[in-house]
Chain A
Amino acid sequence: MTVESTAARKPRRSSGTKRAAGAASAAKPAAATAQTQDAEPQLVQLLTPEGERVDNAENAEFAPFVADITTEDLRGLYRDMVLTRRFDGEATSLQRQGELGLWASLLGQEAAQIGSGRALRGDDYVFPTYREHGVAWCRGVDPTNLLGMFRGVNHGGWDPNTNNFHLYTIVIGSQTLHATGYAMGVAKDGADSAVIAYFGDGASSQGDVAEAFTFSAVYNSPVVFFCQNNQWAISEPTERQMRVPLYQRAQGFGFPGVRVDGNDVLACLAVTRWALERARRGEGPTLVEAFTYRMGAHTTSDDPTKYRRDEETAAWEAKDPILRLKTHLLATGGADEAFFAELEAESEVLGKRVREVVRAMPDPDTMAIFENVYADGHALVDEERAQFAAYLASFEEGH
């Protein structure tokens, strides 16, 4: 795949998706705003919002990457999305009940995360931001581990090397550079693993992300930049971040960019597999823009009614990634009511376990403040730890 061929590729237009400027808007920013609202985005799609499987010239390059997907696999993807959504919903409720300090919901982004997450191999490495609960699920990270930092008992809560799933990164865009460096290391080692970095449309404005693009292009690093364009960066729409479709930015750095329907789990799987294979073959980085929607608030602290219209949210609800696959499974006889009922029961069990584990999660020991500040120890930390311990002990002595 050359850069030219990427530029020439015209992924298919989807039905009924809004926003996203056309390529022509780059030249005329003023006109772009209007066009941005009206234009249909061009994106790779394999399952329509109505749940119909489509094969066409635009997705022809990617469809072979899911040719092996069986009906059972489809049910598996569906299960992943349903359980992830259940977990996410449970976490939102737990925040409302005061068990978590904050929660960043992935509601609406299940297909982008499960599709890309299931494309990965065990030896691939993931650099997430703070919303990648579905990707974590695919990596086998116990979902309750994700809750520690949101409950406020730790800053991470899992060993990144156990599942090749790095800690969540809150400072937006930072991890794209870590992913690039990790990928540089993979290439130096002569391994054929790939690396994937997740980030948002807002984060794409950060200098770090531009620098990650530069480094990965220059060193031809095996990294996939997976941007979930969920249309909003807290209150700011994508128009506040860019004037050309995000995926086209890759071209200027010298690697391909593709926009995929982020609510289509099959297309996300296909496109990510395609990008990972490029990386494995030594063809360097790829930018994937998963065009999707954040159905909930930015986090539980956010109030989207201040900046977002209900009609917009309603329009996207019609493109729900889970509903879409369900419709498809039902229409093709890929799953029956028993399957859905069983899954519902499994969701209940998961929800119950999440609630129980979170409520039982103990507060850390006070002296944990001084733990792991340095790997080799540090005299000042030792001194302060001893002083603080003595201070705390003075209360117990009934001072």
Chain B
Amino acid sequence: MATEKMSIAKALNESLRKALETDPKVLIMGEDVGKLGGVFRITDGLQKDFGEERVIDTPLAESGIVGTAIGLALRGYRPVVEIQFDGFVFPAYDQIVTQLAKMHARALGKIKMPVVVRIPYAGGIGAVEHHSESPEALFAHVPGLKVVSPSNASDAYWMLQQAILSDDPVIFFEPKRRYWDKGEVDTDAIPYQLHKARVAREGADVTLAAYGPMVKVCLEAAAAAAEEGKSIEVVDLRSMSPVDFDGIQASVEKTRRLVVVHEAPVFLGVGSEIAARITERCFYHLEAPVLRVGGFHAPYPPARLEDEYLPGLDRVLDAVDRSLAY
């Protein structure tokens, strides 16, 4: 067994290294991914070891980055593109939504689109505008795209390789405020299925469902609730499209209560879909309505307000209490 403790950032770097080693068709593309190793150093050292033909610094044009990745995929390559920050994906949104997502269907399944779009996302790092957004629902809403987000180092390592192996376009959201969190990575493990949810903590009274950066907050909330004698189960969704509704259902049938937590605005967010589906599936099991905790219907605020804006322990525990009060 090759288990090693590493940060999420390092796990992603190792994962990309492994993918480059394994398949000569894998390419890394993006702004500053070469010499600099990316602004978060996720591609650190890769250009040095794999050359400028494999690890490609691109012009500053996101539509160009994704559009040419589509062309490279048509030619048999497997591009992994980096969008520098969440708020900068929108110049590429047209290419992602109108082209990348639909190519396979339009070609009657004759062509594949193995493109991974890596996006450092969500808040909590005290950044300026456009550097802290959670646009995952905008992508999950689009048929043809798969959308995932790891919450820990092991998932970061394995999910990225699985995303690269996928013949479908995958939007890979990286929780930037967790980049430096460390965890065990077993590089020989048989990985979890990419779109399967994971029970991160077992519990009996309430299920908390979250993904990416909020999984840690939910685990902390569960630990705090345990001191008050409440038993909280935490489900790490890992994938926002498809969502593992079976996995959530199994947990909800046990606990009979569900709170969905994400940083993104609640209105029409991933949690809305989960609340609706779980209500349909588990109507007779539920002791309380499915509650959602998340961002407000307001632009992501300036850094000095993000602690208030982001759901923290208190807001999650408040929702747990409300759920239990029914």
- Footprint of B on A, CB under 8 Å? 101-102, 148-155, 170-173, 202-203, 205-208, 233-236, 240-242, 301-302, 306-307, 363-364, 366, 368-370, 373, 378, 380-381, 384, 388, 391, 394-395
Contacts and interface: CB of A to CB of B under 8 A. Distances in A.
A173 B315 CA distance: 38
B60 A172 contact: yes
Contacts of B36: 234-235, 306-307
B311 to A, nearest CB: 11
Contacts of B126: 101, 152
B128 A369 contact: no
A43 to B, nearest CB: 23
B180 interface: no
A237 to B, nearest CB: 9
Nearest to B296: A384
Contacts of A173: 60
A394 B317 CA distance: 13
A380 B267 CA distance: 9
11 contacts: A149-B128, A152-B128, A205-B59, A234-B32, A235-B34, A363-B304, A364-B301, A368-B301, A368-B305, A369-B305, A369-B308
A203 B60 contact: yes
A320 B295 CA distance: 47
A147 to B, nearest CB: 12
Interface size class, chain B: 35 or more
Interface of B: 31-32, 34-37, 39, 57-64, 87-88, 90-91, 126-131, 267, 296-299, 301-305, 308-309, 314-315, 318
Contact of A369 (B39, B57, B130, B301): B301
Contacts of A388: 296
B267 A102 contact: no
B318 A306 contact: no
Contacts of A380: 267, 297
Nearest to A156: B129
Given A152-B303, A170-B128, A364-B304, 16 more contacts: A149-B129, A153-B302, A154-B302, A205-B60, A205-B61, A206-B61, A207-B91, A235-B36, A235-B57, A241-B60, A302-B39, A364-B301, A364-B305, A368-B301, A369-B309, A378-B297
A381 B302 contact: no
Contact of A170 (B57, B90, B129, B308): B129
Contacts of A235: 32, 34-36, 57
Contact of B297 (A148, A306, A381): A381
Given A171-B87, A235-B34, A373-B299, A155 B60 contact: no
Contacts of B64: 205, 207
B19 to A, nearest CB: 22
A153 B130 contact: no
A154 B297 CA distance: 17
A242 B315 CA distance: 49
Nearest to A361: B304
Contacts of B309: 369
Nearest to A368: B305
A27 to B, nearest CB: 20
Contacts of A172: 60
Point out which of A148, A151, A152, A370 has the most chain B C-beta atoms below 10 A from its C-beta: A152
Given A235-B34, A306-B36, A370-B296, A241 B59 contact: yes
A290 B231 CA distance: 64
A101 B128 contact: yes
B61 A207 contact: yes
A171 B88 contact: yes
B31 A236 contact: yes
Contacts of A306: 35-37
A236 B298 contact: no
A96 B304 CA distance: 17
Given A149-B128, A234-B32, A306-B37, A101 B303 contact: yes
A152 B302 contact: yes
Nearest to A148: B302
Contacts of B62: 206
Q: Pick the 3 closest A-B CB pairs, nearest first.
A: A152-B303, A235-B36, A205-B59
A369 B299 CA distance: 8
A207 B64 CA distance: 8
